[in-house]
Chain A
Amino acid sequence: MFDARDDLTLEELLLPSQVDSAIALLSRLCGTDVKLLHEPNSKATAVEFNLEIVAWLGGDLPEQQRMAAAKLMETLLFHAGKYRLAANLHHNATEANYEQLKQQHAALQASEARYRALSESLQERVDSQIAVIRDSQQKLYESARLRAVGQLAAGMAHEINTPVGFIASNLRTAQEYLSEIEEAIKGEPSPHEVLEDFQCLLTECLDGAARITNIIKDIRAFANIDQTDYRVFDLNDLVRTSVQLVTSELQPCSPITLELAPLPKLPGHPARVGQAIYNAVNNALRALSDDGEVVVTTRLVDEMVEITISDNGHGMGEEILSRAFEPFFTTRDVGVGAGLGLSVVRDVAMDHQGQVLLTSQEGQGSRLVLLLPIARASI
């Protein structure tokens, strides 16, 4: 690439016309015809460029004169050669630079293409990772529900313990009483008071048993292990159960007021609707300050059942409101909320061909309206 030949031929040094005019001038100077030859003869003198013979100058003239003519020709060639060599070198160096630039350019393009490909596949990989994360979040949420059921079961056990406790204790007392009765019957004919008390104990026991039954029913309604269960259900019952579960998890004295109008039964997935109500009420409770209130109302509007959950909590700004139904959007601290609560409400409403409306004003509170059709349109 850098090869610059420095042994130039006569043709490379001068143009034929330049050679001709030089020879014509030399001939005139010498007073006789001289010419440049390719082969030496007895009347010719070597003409050199860079120690290389490029031609012979021949002519019928004295040797001294011929040598002077040859020397003059050499001087001419020397200066022509100087220019030619510099030009060749410059040309080569420029070519080499250009070549190098082209290579750098190609390398740059190749690397740019590599990065572009990488960034494209990166986007794909990020997208698929996001899908995986969403999926696992969803599963996590499901498992959180199961955990909630577990907690519920723990609470249930606690609740059951008390009635079971006094049932056992009362039964022990009853046993003692019974033995006392036996003692007394031996002597006195009518053990009136003891029998009466015995009657009360039994009533209490029955009452305790009834409470246990009810609690278990509540739990089963909420946990509703058969998720796919599609049936006709009483929405007011579901609201009561859900609210009870939320509050039992939170405070001892409930800030929730229920205003439930008589409703017809409606078809759907009670477990899912229960979950939606639970989520909405839970959200409302979390927005409350100390003396806040939540009002849950149900009523019939045309062919729809309307459940309204309103609170006088901190409310939401425009931006948060516009994103409230987005999956994974949460204003709670990392790890506290999955950001799925309201998105589940919306999903449930859509599953039941219903609607969900959310209005809120910062500092004033929020109001969530869930509308569910009484008769489900055939699909």
Chain B
Amino acid sequence: MSKISLKVVYYGPAMSGKTTNLLQLHGQLNPQRKGEVMIMETRDDRTLFFDMLPIGFKREQEIDLRIKLYTVPGQVEHDSTRKAVLSRADGIIFVADSQLSQQENNAISFENLADNLLKVGLDIEKIPLTIQFNKRDLGRIVSEETLEGRWLNTPWWPLTLSSALKGQGTAETFEQLLQRLYPAVDREHALSSRHGITQKTFLEHLTQSSDY
């Protein structure tokens, strides 16, 4: 039986909504297998070490695929923890804060992501990465036109927009990441040729309940 263990990391500046994303996914997703959300936060709602949600699917005698969804602490001072969580990541979801006042922090965090990926031997240009602009429900946010102008010519376009607190866009973000993640996993583990798992089934198994 093939056992595949993947790691997806929610990265981004402090208080951009990474943990909220994870909690919403836990409530909304209905993958074949779903564990408990491990939340480690301080009293002021800040993640201390990481949060973690394991999901997966299994076919008896054939394949046991698990994805652990991690969040990192966004505060600047927790850089070594971020690096530790980032190590051996298979995919990244960057949760940016849409508020105009937070654009600088987004940029700093994104640069920090690129730096840390390099330090743990990964390349931001190659790793499957989805960028989510969260908190779309707030006023004084960066416009979609501005985002398009800024990101259109990057490998990560289109971005996803969300209001994680209201449960909007979190599942779509995760699905987009799965779509970008599938080719890499398929290349390495021959999902379609050996196990007959297409991108569609891959997505279905990890987001909706199935009969397996």
| A interface list, Cβ under 8 A from B | 1-4, 6-7, 48, 50-52, 78, 81-82, 85-86, 89-90, 92-94, 96-97
Contacts and interface: CB of A to CB of B under 8 A. Distances in A.
A1 B56 CA distance: 27
Given A50-B68, A51-B66, A89-B50, A82 B38 contact: yes
A90 B35 contact: no
Contact of B87 (A2, A82, A86, A97): A2
B96 interface: no
A92 B81 CA distance: 8
Contacts, number: 58
Contacts of A4: 84-85, 87
B107 interface: no
Given A50-B54, A51-B33, A89-B50, A2 B38 contact: no
A96 B54 contact: no
Given A2-B120, A86-B40, A51 B87 contact: no
Contacts of B33: 51
B83 A2 contact: yes
Contacts of A97: 80
B87 A90 contact: no
28 contacts: A1-B87, A2-B83, A2-B86, A2-B87, A2-B88, A3-B88, A4-B85, A6-B52, A48-B35, A50-B35, A50-B54, A51-B33, A51-B35, A52-B66, A78-B36, A82-B38, A85-B49, A86-B40, A86-B48, A86-B49, A86-B50, A89-B50, A89-B84, A89-B85, A90-B81, A96-B80, A96-B84, A97-B80
Contacts of B35: 48, 50-51
Contacts of B40: 82, 86
Given A2-B86, A3-B87, A86-B49, A93 B80 contact: yes
B208 interface: no
Nearest to B78: A93
B42 to A, nearest CB: 12
B47 to A, nearest CB: 11
Contacts of B2: none
- Classify the interface of chain A: helix, strand, loop or mixed: helix
Contacts of B28: none
B60 to A, nearest CB: 13
Interface in B172-191: none
Given A51-B33, A51-B66, A93 B84 contact: yes
Interface of B: 5, 33, 35-36, 38, 40, 48-50, 52, 54-56, 66, 68, 80-81, 83-88, 120
A7 B84 contact: no
B83 A89 contact: no
B81 A51 contact: no
Contact of A85 (B5, B52, B66): B52
A89 B81 contact: yes
A3 B83 CA distance: 10
Nearest to A93: B80
Contacts of A94: 80
Contact of A78 (B38, B80, B88): B38
A240 B86 CA distance: 95
A6 B40 CA distance: 15
Contacts of B120: 2
Given A2-B84, A4-B84, A89-B85, 8 more contacts: A2-B88, A48-B35, A81-B38, A85-B38, A85-B50, A89-B84, A90-B81, A96-B83
B141 to A, nearest CB: 33
Given A51-B56, A51-B66, A93-B81, A7 B5 contact: yes
B56 A92 contact: no
Nearest to A49: B35
Given A50-B54, A51-B56, A86-B49, A92 B84 contact: yes
B54 to A, nearest CB: 5
A86 B66 CA distance: 20
A81 B68 CA distance: 14
* Those 4 A-B pairs whose CB atoms lie nearest each other, nearest first: A2-B87, A93-B80, A2-B84, A86-B49
Nearest to A74: B36
Contacts of A89: 49-50, 81, 84-85
B26 to A, nearest CB: 13
Nearest to B56: A51
Contacts of A96: 80, 83-84
A96 B81 CA distance: 10
